Amino acid sequence: MSGNVQLLNDTLAAARSEGRSALIAYLPAGFPSVDGGIEAVKAALDGGADVVEVGLPHSDPVLDGPVIQTADDIALKGGVRIADVMRTVREAHAATGKPILVMTYWNPIDRYGVERFTAELADAGGAGCILPDLPVQESAPWREHADKHGLATVFVVAPSSKDARLAEITAAGSGFVYAASLMGVTGTRESVGAQAEDLVRRTRATTDLPVCVGLGVSNAAQAAEVAGFADGVIVGSAFVKRMLDAPDEAAGLEGVRALAADLAKGVRGKA
């Protein structure tokens, strides 16, 4: 079975044709439970997210700040497995018809097996993977299997990336480019800043792929700001915080849905 890279491409193109950025939400699998995590992903999509990244919880999430680390710890203590990540992708995609990616560090895939992982993700209806710590120069085996199974390979670029390095990264990627808005880990910020706009401009000079900005966006005003220069706005910690801060799971799901609706207005310039 082929994955849904084309659905991802079409979704991002549709947002562009509407004159807006796409809203991309991040939520970890297995948090607050496997079933609860599936419902959270569906809530984000129902609320207005165009795409969801499902995080594969990892014990050493080098890109993630304390909010996502806390959620990952809860998921890992709950015994989450890669099979649960695949189930999350499968059920969320089946319920909404929207593109679902997995965001994961390389070590779990390497241990699980690249062919097995890509085949199972495609079979689950996944659209691809975001791989923040896989060096492009070591990515050929992954990309070969991802291409074979119809999956996007999304790489991360940072403000520190030189122009030649940006060109190398974007030439190897597919789906979109994940532009980290600042140096540091995930988390909400008071301001997303001019660094992100400059990085988008430099990245676009190397590729026709959509450039989506993450790290720091937490409200509609910030989403509207980033939507002014990026093809997609990626929000993670703010969604996870809604779940963490809620008195119960039902309230957390409603919080996720409401935040997605608010951010969806932001990316449409209606904040």
Going residue by residue through the chain, which has 271 residues, state the pLDDT in tens, using 9 for 90 and above.
688 999 999 999 999 999 999 999 999 999 999 999 999 999 999 999 999 999 999 876 566 678 888 898 989 899 999 999 999 999 999 999 999 999 999 999 999 999 999 999 999 999 999 999 999 999 999 999 999 999 999 999 999 899 999 999 999 999 999 998 764 444 444 455 678 899 999 999 999 999 999 877 889 998 999 999 999 999 999 999 999 999 999 999 999 999 999 999 999 986 5
Catalytic residue among 39, 50, 53, 262: 53
Catalytic residue among 64, 84, 91, 262: 64
**Which pLDDT value is given to residue 185?**
42
**Residue 68 β-bridge partners:** none
CA–CA distance, 240 with 255 (Å, rounded to integer)? 10
Instruction: Examine the residue annotation and report whether 168 is marked as an active-site residue of this protein.
Output: no
**Which pLDDT value is given to residue 217?**
86
**Which pLDDT value is given to residue 61?**
59
CA–CA distance, 183 with 205 (Å, rounded to integer)? 21
* Whole-number Cα distances in Å, 71 to 117, 239, 250, 271: 23, 11, 17, 28
Tokens matching residue 196: 């992100």
**Which pLDDT value is given to residue 183?**
46
**Which pLDDT value is given to residue 182?**
62
Look at the alpha carbons of 155, 159, 161, 163 in this order and tell me if their dihedral is positive or negative: positive
To the question of pTM greater than 0.75 for the whole model, the response is: yes
**Which pLDDT value is given to residue 62?**
60
Instruction: Examine the residue annotation and report whether 53 is marked as an active-site residue of this protein.
Output: yes
Tokens matching residue 158: 């940072």
SS3 180: strand
- Cβ-contact 212, 177 below 8 angstroms: yes
